[in-house]
Structure 1
Amino acid sequence: MTVASPYAVELARLPVTTRTLALAGSSTRVWEYGAAGADATARADADTVLVVVHGFRGDHHGLEPVIAQLGAPRESAAARRRIVAPDLPGFGDSGPLSAGHDVDGYVEWLRELVDRVREESPRARLVVVGHSFGSIVSSAALAGGLEVDDAVLINPISAPALKGPKGLMTRLAIFYYWFSAAVPEKLGFALLRSGLVVRIVSITMSRTKDRQLLRWIHDQHSRYFSAFASRAVVLDAFRGSVSHDVSEYAARVTVPTLLIAADDDDITPLAAQYEVERAMPDARLVVLENVGHLIHYERPVEAADAIEAFLAEERPA
């Protein structure tokens, strides 16, 4: 039985369109939220476009709670805002890439997506928003010259995963993915889609004491955490997620950047978030308390408020 979303009312108010784009060899499924994404004319008139990059093993649904707040017509600023939320290639409803599903492969895909978005909304302020693994892909692309106006990284993975507060859990995860790759494909695929493993991960990352919210988070993970094209896709992406982190790209991320971090993130210690803030030429850090790696599920209102404040900052002409 599907658990109702706590953010369903806000999300239902948003116009939503879907389409499939040919990008980097992938048939990428894209959801566009807000009136400014409704058709070609509306896209051309958009004044702000947010390109949202979700995390490892998820799909676009994961960031919908934040999107629901950012796209809400509570302010006139949202009227011409276009929010572009693809499923990463190989996950959700998007087909796999023609190249490998490592950080480099996803960076090339993101470049093509941003180029397409810019062609469609040539006068818009362009903002890339990455969560978790999406923060690595986004920062790597920015360091490599991706041209956008601003960046937002939610739960950025700002240090090597093995050095995180729960490095043992990461080592267990590495063994799990290694074992899933070593056994015959049918068994490995079943292990990767194990409902028990998904629930353990969901319980480990959650911090909320709200039982209804927790039920919904577990339901979200059960429904969307195992929608990947193949064993090879998920294994490549996992290797990328533990082999790279935002800190290696930080000094070359020169656009104004907002980091939204948690004080109890299992993957990245808070000290590493401050180090990345100092390393980036133009960054500011917002820390949310009593939350872990699921800011997008547990604290989307606060995350959206931080993004709205960031977008409202005065910028040099």
Structure 2
Amino acid sequence: MEKVDTAHTPEDADAPIEFISKSLQGRTIASDVDVDGSNVAYWTYEPIKPTQDARTILVIHGFRGDHHGLLRVADLLPDMRIIMPDLPAFGSSDPFCDDEHTVERYGRFISGFMAALGLGPKTVLLGHSFGSIVASHFAARNPGAIYPLILVNPIAAPALEGPKGIMTKLAVFYYQVSAKLPRRLGLALLRNRAIVRVMSITMAKTKDKDLRRFIHGQHDAYFSAFADRRSLLESFKASVSGTVADVAGELRLPVLLIAGEKDEIATLPNQYKLMERLPEATLEVIPDVGHLIHYETPAPAAAVIRTFLEEHPA
């Protein structure tokens, strides 16, 4: 079953429409597919002028996000075919059936999803934040399955270590408590708008008031679209227990790292360390942005993606 996606328009997040162009709607097809017994919703953004050389990019979003988060980047790549699923247990997708939501399991999901859609080894794989962990581990365990690999705000160091370790441990406690409370109280805590807003304010670095309003509206609208508390806790543990660096030496393909100069989650010093561990890496640093490259600076991100793919043709 296919239909045009109207749910992605920024009005849903009470945000200015100019941050996502109207032309994106004309490129959009919303679909769903069964992958290992779970119904997965995904969106395809077709190129404006389809050609045989148009690249296909499979996008893996971050923790507690869904396909909406990367729309501004997709909007600025009108010559490419971009496929963005809501990861199982997030957005409009079902959780895994009787499986824990781990990095390895999400990697197996990518295999099943690609097989279901007939995506071959010329597919570009892009992961943002937690998606960078999932995408890199998948690429390491499935050599030749995709080409090349693009990681936006890649998680390069363990979240439980370093100066931000105490904050991560508090977050672990937050998700554990939310999972143990009675259902109504637990969900209220997880979906508390004040907590979501604090997180959004902390990550946003732009001084543009309209753009900040857009970002906060996006987080308000989509950050709490998860299936249940169990799968959310499992996914959170996965997001803080793995890194791209874990498999860096196994990534025998070109890798593009797109980092934010002011990223406090995936810090710049760790991005340089990660680049040194990768056999074939390009690091592009976008100034004056943190962990929200996909929201705040989609134009330079799209530009470096296009250049990287021109340098690494299928």
Structure-1-length-normalised TM-score = 0.89
Shift of 1:221: 0.0
Q: Is the 8 A contact 2:20 2:71 kept in 1?
A: no
Q: Does 1:89 align with 2:101?
A: no
- Measure the CA separation in 2 of the matches of 1:29 and 1:46: 26
Aligned partner of residue 249 in structure 1, secondary structure: helix
Q: Is the 8 A contact 1:164 1:269 kept in 2?
A: no
Q: Does 1:292 align with 2:290?
A: yes
In the other structure, the counterpart of 1:54 is: 61
- Measure the CA separation in 1 of the matches of 2:131 and 2:162: 18
Shift of 1:171: 2.4
In the other structure, the counterpart of 1:246 is: 244
Aligned partner of residue 105 in structure 1, secondary structure: helix
Structure-2-length-normalised TM-score = 0.90
Instruction: Give ranges in structure 2 of 5+ residues lacking alignment.
Output: 1-12
Pair 1:86–1:314, CA change in 2 (3 A): closer
Q: Is the 8 A contact 1:131 1:155 kept in 2?
A: yes
Summarize the alignment of residues 299-314 of structure 1 with structure 2, pairs less than 5 Å apart.
299-313=297-311
- Measure the CA separation in 2 of the matches of 1:18 and 1:314: 29
Pair 1:225–1:13, CA change in 2 (3 A): closer
Shift of 1:166: 3.1
- Measure the CA separation in 1 of the matches of 2:211 and 2:236: 27
Shift of 1:163: 3.0
Counterpart residue identity of residue 31, structure 2? R
In the other structure, the counterpart of 1:64 is: 71
- Measure the CA separation in 2 of the matches of 1:209 and 1:11: 27
Q: Does 1:21 align with 2:33?
A: yes
- Measure the CA separation in 1 of the matches of 2:213 and 2:48: 33
Q: Is the 8 A contact 2:41 2:93 kept in 1?
A: yes
**How many matched pairs?**
300
Q: Is the 8 A contact 2:125 2:148 kept in 1?
A: yes
Instruction: Give ranges in structure 1 of 5+ residues lacking alignment.
Output: 72-77
Shift of 1:285: 0.4
Pair 1:187–1:314, CA change in 2 (3 A): closer
Pair 1:82–1:142, CA change in 2 (3 A): same
Q: Is the 8 A contact 2:16 2:210 kept in 1?
A: no
- Measure the CA separation in 2 of the matches of 1:223 and 1:242: 24
The CA RMSD measured in Å over matched residues stands at 2.1
Shift of 1:189: 1.6
Shift of 1:116: 3.2
Percent identity of the aligned residues? Answer: 43
Shift of 1:164: 5.2
- Measure the CA separation in 1 of the matches of 2:92 and 2:105: 18
Q: Does 1:3 align with 2:3?
A: no
Shift of 1:10: 5.9
Q: Does 1:143 align with 2:155?
A: no
1:148-200 deviations in whole A, cap 9, x for unaligned?
A: 11010000011011235533332221221121122222211211111111101
Counterpart residue identity of residue 174, structure 1? V
- Measure the CA separation in 2 of the matches of 1:231 and 1:46: 43
